[in-house]
A and B are shown apart, each in its own frame.
Chain A
Amino acid sequence: MNTLLAAQWTLLVGAAACLLPMRNAWRAALGLLSQAGATLLVLSVALPVVLGGPPLQGELAWAEPVGLLKVRLDALGAFFLVWSLPMTLLGSVYAVGYLRRHFATERHVGVHYALLNMTALSFVIVYSADHALVFLLGWEIAALAAWLLVIWDYANQKVRFAGFNYLVSTHVGLIFLVAAFMILYTHSASWELGSFGKWLRAHPGTERNLVFLLLLTSFGLKSAFFPFHSWLPRAHAAAPAHVSALMSGVIHKAGLYALVRFVMLIGRPDEWMGWFLIGFSLLSAVIGALYTVGQRDLKRLLGYSSTENVGIAGLGLGVGCLGLAWGNSSLVVVGFAGGLLHVLNHAFFKCQLFYAAGSVYQAAHTVDMERLGGLSRLMPWTAASFLLGGVAISALPPLNGFTSEFVIYSGLFNGQAIGAWAQVALAVAAAGLAFVGAVSALSITRAFGVVFLGSPRDVSIEAPHEVSRWMLAPTLAHAAGVVVLGVAPVLGLTLVEGAARLALAGLPGADAAAAGAPLQALGETLSRIGALSGVLTAAIALMWWQRSRSGTAPAPRHVTWGCGYGTPNSRMQYTGSSFAWDFGRRFHGVLLMLRRQKAPEGYFPSDGYLITHCPDAVERRLFAVIQHGDESAAGLSRQLREDDPRVAFGAALVALVLIAGLVVLGTGALR
């Protein structure tokens, strides 16, 4: 408890200290140092909890109406803390390289570092709070810090718009969260999450269902589930790369944390909640994956893939909920462990991909796929890490994305579902997941193939070169995590094991022994997968080494076969848009692939162009609805003349009748 407080103070003081020095390098150094210190402090208490130690508890007296501030760090919160803080630190290291060119300018980099510290602070608060108001405070710090981090390049109007869009969305989410908390507070008369849980467990029914839906909406907005994702592609495209990485990989995982936390508070959710979560998540995964196909902007693409991946993680959590509802301990373990493992894995590979995309932006000053090409020869390290992250995000062996999806599949094909129809529904969800996997492989092939392979498409971009070590080191650290968690997935399991046990506590009569068998089975499966991945890697390396050793003379080089055409140029390579066109147009109901073109005409055509664009359908519809509402309100106010006394009297009459009706109904005078 004291260590946690010390970490919070370190972060706060560090944030303030960042603002003071005169030179940007000192400001950044202070930020990094304070964050590193706080990370060590937090790890020293969170790691023992994750590895099976007792939960950390403490309380702090505070004035009314807040009351006793309770802090409780159990295995679930500690699991999120042990990777959130180190990853934020890595992001801050990356920021040194990314913002390097601003260091010598008038720009105050200290503010940025202070905000990164505040982000880390929000994790410590949210993941250890046992008090609803403290939870909301941490939630809000995260939202505001993320907004301010996004608008780093605030001089650009598009960036400001993206930031504002995010700010509005996250506060709409807050409204739902506050509404749910208000309902819970009125029933439990306490701000403690524990007493929320007591009421939730004891009172299944309409109100609990309502609370569940409110919470799911709020957390869905936070984690960018479909259809609450419309802020996400803009924010990720506008923010600096490390901010996008932290938002997508780390900050928005708080939504999933809160979801798991409240499911655990409910204890035994109803069966429909599990099915609802599975359906909702599958929809997110499928639509998110489809949207990655159409994007031209590398960072927008990665943003949509966040929607896809929270969907995949949510699928695992949904399976866990079903397990709780059916009282099946192995489903609970597989579902929650799989979902949380995917959260961890996604944090690893998504940050890595965003860092690689940021390196591309630093080197080439654009992330528009259609202008790039052939970067892997100029930026080999960046290309290698993008490829590694890409294989992981497509959930392919031998990397970490595969291990968590495997666990989720094993939950979906568990064979212990209640009734044949439930099994059929889970198999359909698994088929959806398979579709998502194939689509994300398509997008990654497209992104990596167009940006890093082939030859440069736009001669106006001067030859990019590899980025600085400040940026490469965090990228490679994430890459190492991706490989290690892929070959030794048991390591990941030890981190989520405690959280899975916590979920099991919701089952009646469950004890440590009941958790042992399914956890052990899962561990065996994962070590088998790890071994298989190792064998596959070794076999491929051996074959390749054998081939490259045997051919001593370098292979002769020749131009790419152009089917007999003698003068191909690099603009004739297949583009990202053409890659997506054939697939995307089959989903034109969901995916808006817009194109404007002027085809060359006649025997001696003068010019021609083709502009492709894939806007967000939800956002378009949202703005259309807002505009429509705006117009009808304006039309109504035009018709009503405010100086007309009849309108005023009429309105007053309606108001009086309404108030009288409410009073009569509320006091029960009619009964």
Chain B
Amino acid sequence: MNAPLPPPLLAALTVLHVAITLLMPFLMIGLVNRSKAWWGGRKGPPLAQSLWDLLRLLRKRPVLSQVTTPLFRAGAWVVLGASLLAAQIAPLLGPFAPLQFAHDFVVFAYTLGLARLFLMLSAMDVGSSFEGMGTAREASFTAFVEPALFLLVGTALVGTGQTSLAGLIGQWHHSPAFVWLAAPAVGVLFVLLQAEAARVPVDDPATHLELTMVHEVMVLDHSGPELAAMQYAAAIKMTVYAGLIAALLNPFDLATQPAPAVLAALAIMAAVAVAVGCVESLTARLRMRHVPPYLALASLVAALGLGLAGWLAGAA
């Protein structure tokens, strides 16, 4: 549909994409915290506060639990490495990603799955019942939300006929049925963001009670550089899903108007971060037993979207 990007632009966009996946997570966290502070009538921390926190953690010497194995420390780096790889497959700026090939969305989903598996195993390694509880919750929430992404991809496939994630998400707006499907798609992606990045109403990153945590309880015994890696990975995941929403809604064509397209993408991602902050300020975390239905609802909406897409394609 679109002409291939000229090589200089391709190189520039690749550099830009990598830079965004590395730096945008800090800004995203900063924006979420700022908007939460705004609702709470506070001034809030500086936007780059999480970057300074990360650098501080990297300098610290970790304290390990007595029962841990080498898997505990290695796990954190698997989580970070896999999240960074997945971020290079996701389109953020439009129909473009540095790693782009047929059916790359499977690699995207399963690389994030690898990250999650090692996050859960690191948590199980300390032999604490609290971390076991968090792990069990994470694992079961994932199972409810995992089909949503694939149903969404299937919906986009019916509309676009593309097979790479960048093409599916970035070129979906050319399809005539997109008008009907845009809102459910954004909704599903937003719920996926909340589940993957452990935000309210699925999980509360600011809670103080171990019994009510999911992601935070799994990194309870991490400290120093490993904690930094885990937190950075979670922020990268949030950026990636915000980026998917940005690529989906980007009104500019990346090939002909690169600068406005990039700016629009960044603006949409920032808006998603603010939206996450607003949701966190205005609602509480769902009760644990209501979280799986909430996530399954996302999968259901995605399935209905798929049915609608099939119906529209059949009618056309």
A interface residue numbers (CB < 8 A to B): 373-374, 376-377, 383, 387, 391, 394-397, 402, 405-406, 409-410, 413, 415, 419-421, 423-424, 426-428, 430-435, 437-439, 441-442, 444-446, 448-450, 453-455, 525, 528-529, 532, 535-536, 539-540, 543-544, 547-548, 551, 553, 555-563, 568, 570, 572-575, 578-583, 586
Interface string of B23-45 (1 = CB under 8 A from A): 00000000000000000000000
Q: Are A394 and B113 in touch, CB under 8 angstroms?
A: yes
Inter-chain contacts of B129 with A (CB < 8 A): 568, 572-574
- B261 to A: closest C-beta gap in Å: 26
Bound complex: CA A224 to CA B195 (Å): 35
Q: Are B117 and A560 in touch, CB under 8 angstroms?
A: no
Q: Are B64 and A562 in touch, CB under 8 angstroms?
A: no
- Which residue of chain A has its CB nearest to the CB of B168? A413
Q: Are A406 and B113 in touch, CB under 8 angstroms?
A: no
Inter-chain contacts of B227 with A (CB < 8 A): none
B121 within 8 A of A: yes
- Identify B63's interface contact among A430, A439, A453, A556, CB under 8 A: A556
Q: Are B143 and A406 in touch, CB under 8 angstroms?
A: no
B49 within 8 A of A: no
- Which residue of chain A has its CB nearest to the CB of B130? A563
Inter-chain contacts of A557 with B (CB < 8 A): 63-66
Q: Are B135 and A579 in touch, CB under 8 angstroms?
A: yes
Known: A536-B111, A583-B143. A434 touches B124 (CB 8 A): no
- Which residue of chain B has its CB nearest to the CB of A394? B117
Inter-chain contacts of B82 with A (CB < 8 A): 536, 540
Interface string of B119-139 (1 = CB under 8 A from A): 011001111111111011101
Inter-chain contacts of A563 with B (CB < 8 A): 130, 210
Interface string of B55-76 (1 = CB under 8 A from A): 0000001111111010101100
- B148 to A: closest C-beta gap in Å: 8
Q: Are B71 and A406 in touch, CB under 8 angstroms?
A: no
Inter-chain contacts of B302 with A (CB < 8 A): 431
Given contacts A428-B154, A525-B103, A560-B126, 14 further A-B contacts (CB under 8 A): A376-B69, A424-B306, A433-B150, A438-B143, A532-B85, A555-B64, A557-B63, A557-B65, A561-B128, A563-B130, A574-B128, A579-B139, A583-B139, A586-B292
Bound complex: CA A540 to CA B124 (Å): 20
B220 within 8 A of A: yes
- A546 to B: closest C-beta gap in Å: 9
Inter-chain contacts of A419 with B (CB < 8 A): 314
Known: A409-B103, A560-B127. A391 touches B150 (CB 8 A): no
Bound complex: CA A439 to CA B117 (Å): 11
Bound complex: CA A441 to CA B138 (Å): 11
Bound complex: CA A415 to CA B162 (Å): 8
Q: Are A560 and B135 in touch, CB under 8 angstroms?
A: no
- B296 to A: closest C-beta gap in Å: 9
Q: Are B106 and A406 in touch, CB under 8 angstroms?
A: yes
Q: Are A454 and B127 in touch, CB under 8 angstroms?
A: yes
B147 within 8 A of A: yes
Bound complex: CA A37 to CA B137 (Å): 51
Bound complex: CA A543 to CA B79 (Å): 11
Top-4 shortest CB links A-B: A574-B132, A427-B154, A454-B127, A449-B124
Dominant SS among interface residues on chain A: helix
- A287 to B: closest C-beta gap in Å: 14
- Identify B146's interface contact among A424, A437, A573, CB under 8 A: A437
B107 within 8 A of A: yes
Inter-chain contacts of B147 with A (CB < 8 A): 431-432, 434-435
> Can you identify 5 A-B contacts, CB atoms within 8 angstroms?
A413-B103, A413-B163, A441-B139, A453-B124, A525-B101
- Which residue of chain A has its CB nearest to the CB of B84? A539
Inter-chain contacts of B221 with A (CB < 8 A): 560-561
Q: Are A410 and B103 in touch, CB under 8 angstroms?
A: yes
Known: A397-B107, A428-B151, A560-B66. A544 touches B73 (CB 8 A): yes
- A277 to B: closest C-beta gap in Å: 20
B149 within 8 A of A: yes
- Identify B303's interface contact among A413, A428, A551, CB under 8 A: A428
Known: A555-B64, A558-B63. A427 touches B158 (CB 8 A): yes
Inter-chain contacts of A423 with B (CB < 8 A): 154, 157-158, 310, 313
Q: Are A532 and B99 in touch, CB under 8 angstroms?
A: yes
- Identify B80's interface contact among A376, A410, A543, A575, CB under 8 A: A543
- Which residue of chain A has its CB nearest to the CB of B314? A420
Q: Are B153 and A413 in touch, CB under 8 angstroms?
A: yes
Q: Are A551 and B61 in touch, CB under 8 angstroms?
A: yes
Bound complex: CA A445 to CA B113 (Å): 12
Q: Are B154 and A413 in touch, CB under 8 angstroms?
A: yes
B110 within 8 A of A: yes
Bound complex: CA A528 to CA B158 (Å): 25
- Identify A529's interface contact among B107, B148, B161, CB under 8 A: B107
Bound complex: CA A82 to CA B46 (Å): 63
Bound complex: CA A291 to CA B79 (Å): 28
Bound complex: CA A578 to CA B147 (Å): 24
B102 within 8 A of A: yes
Inter-chain contacts of A454 with B (CB < 8 A): 67, 124-127
Inter-chain contacts of A432 with B (CB < 8 A): 147
Inter-chain contacts of A568 with B (CB < 8 A): 128-129
Inter-chain contacts of A559 with B (CB < 8 A): 65-66
Inter-chain contacts of B114 with A (CB < 8 A): 391, 396-397
Q: Are A391 and B127 in touch, CB under 8 angstroms?
A: no
Q: Most chain-A CB neighbours within 10 Å: which of B69, B82, B116, B150?
A: B150
B252 within 8 A of A: no
- Which residue of chain A has its CB nearest to the CB of B153? A413
- B53 to A: closest C-beta gap in Å: 18
Q: Are A406 and B103 in touch, CB under 8 angstroms?
A: yes
- Which residue of chain B has its CB nearest to the CB of A571? B129
B81 within 8 A of A: yes
Interface string of B77-114 (1 = CB under 8 A from A): 11011101100000000000001011100110111011
Inter-chain contacts of B121 with A (CB < 8 A): 387, 445, 448-449, 453
- Which residue of chain B has its CB nearest to the CB of A422? B310
Q: Are B127 and A570 in touch, CB under 8 angstroms?
A: yes
B2 within 8 A of A: no
- B15 to A: closest C-beta gap in Å: 18
Inter-chain contacts of A433 with B (CB < 8 A): 150
- Which residue of chain A has its CB nearest to the CB of B69? A376
Q: Are B120 and A445 in touch, CB under 8 angstroms?
A: yes
B140 within 8 A of A: yes
B155 within 8 A of A: yes
- Which residue of chain A has its CB nearest to the CB of B155? A427
Q: Are A438 and B142 in touch, CB under 8 angstroms?
A: yes
Inter-chain contacts of B109 with A (CB < 8 A): 434
Bound complex: CA A528 to CA B131 (Å): 37
Bound complex: CA A104 to CA B225 (Å): 53
B187 within 8 A of A: no
Bound complex: CA A562 to CA B126 (Å): 10
- A420 to B: closest C-beta gap in Å: 4
- Identify B117's interface contact among A373, A444, A572, A578, CB under 8 A: A444
Inter-chain contacts of A406 with B (CB < 8 A): 103, 106-107, 110
Inter-chain contacts of A525 with B (CB < 8 A): 101-103
Known: A410-B102, A442-B143, A578-B136. A396 touches B117 (CB 8 A): yes
- A203 to B: closest C-beta gap in Å: 33
Q: Are B69 and A377 in touch, CB under 8 angstroms?
A: yes
Bound complex: CA A160 to CA B157 (Å): 52
- Which residue of chain A has its CB nearest to the CB of B223? A555
B251 within 8 A of A: no
Inter-chain contacts of A573 with B (CB < 8 A): 127-129, 132
Q: Most chain-B CB neighbours within 10 Å: which of A428, A455, A570, A581?
A: A428
B299 within 8 A of A: yes
